[in-house]
Amino acid sequence: MYPDLALTFLGFTYVYFMPETPRFLVSKKKFVEAREVFAKMARINRSTADTSVFVFENEGAVEEVVVPKQPTWRDIYNESPTLRMNLLASIVLYMESTFNFYLLTFYLKYFPGSIFENAGVYALSDLAAYVIAGIVLKLVSIPNAFRISLSIAFTGGMIYLFTSDNLTLVPIFICLCRVGCSMQYNVSVISINRTFPTKYISTAYGVVNMFAHIFACFSSLIAEVPNPYPFIIFEALIVVAALATFKIKEVKNLTVEEEDEKKKDDSVKNSEDQIKFESNFYR
Phi and psi based region of residue 227 (left: phi greater than 0; alpha: psi -120 to 50; beta: remaining): beta
**Cα separation, 83 vs 75, whole angstroms:** 10
Phi and psi based region of residue 140 (left: phi greater than 0; alpha: psi -120 to 50; beta: remaining): beta
- Whether 152 has a pLDDT exceeding 80, the answer reads yes
User: For a pLDDT cut of 70, what percent of the chain falls above it?
Assistant: 81
pLDDT value, residue 278: 47
Q: What is the mean pLDDT of residues 197-204?
A: 87
Give the CATH architecture of domain 73-252.
Up-down Bundle (1.20)
How many angstroms from the chain centroid is the CA of residue 16?
A: 20
Q: What is the mean pLDDT of residues 244-255?
A: 79
DSSP the chain: -HHHHHHHHHHHHHHTTPPPPHHHHHHTT-HHHHHHHHHHHHHHTT----GGG---TTTTTPPPP-PPPPP-HHHHHHH-HHHHHHHHHHHHHHHHHHHHHHHHHHHGGGSSS-HHHHHHHHHHHHHHHHHHHHHHHHHS-HHHHHHHHHHHHHHHHHHHHHHTT-GGGHHHHHHHHHHHHHHHHHHHHHHHHHHS-GGGHHHHHHHHHHHHHHHHTTHHHHTTSPTTHHHHHHHHHHHHHHHHGGG---HHHHHHHHHHHHHHHHHHHHHHHHHHHHHHHH-
**CA distances (Å), 148 to each of 15, 23, 132, 176, in order?**
36, 42, 10, 12
Q: Where are the domains of the chain?
A: 2-53, 73-252
CB 218, CB 94: distance < 8 Å: no
pLDDT value, residue 2: 55
Burial of 127 (0-12, 13-18, 19+ CB in 10 A): exposed
Q: Which residue from 187, 197, 183 is spatially nearest to 253, judged by alpha carbons?
A: 197
**Cα separation, 22 vs 26, whole angstroms:** 6
Q: Compute the mean pLDDT over every residue in the chain, rounded to the nearest whole number.
A: 82
Q: What is the mean pLDDT of residues 143-148?
A: 94
Burial of 201 (0-12, 13-18, 19+ CB in 10 A): middle
pLDDT digits (tens, 9 = 90+) for 90-115: 999 999 999 999 999 999 888 888 88
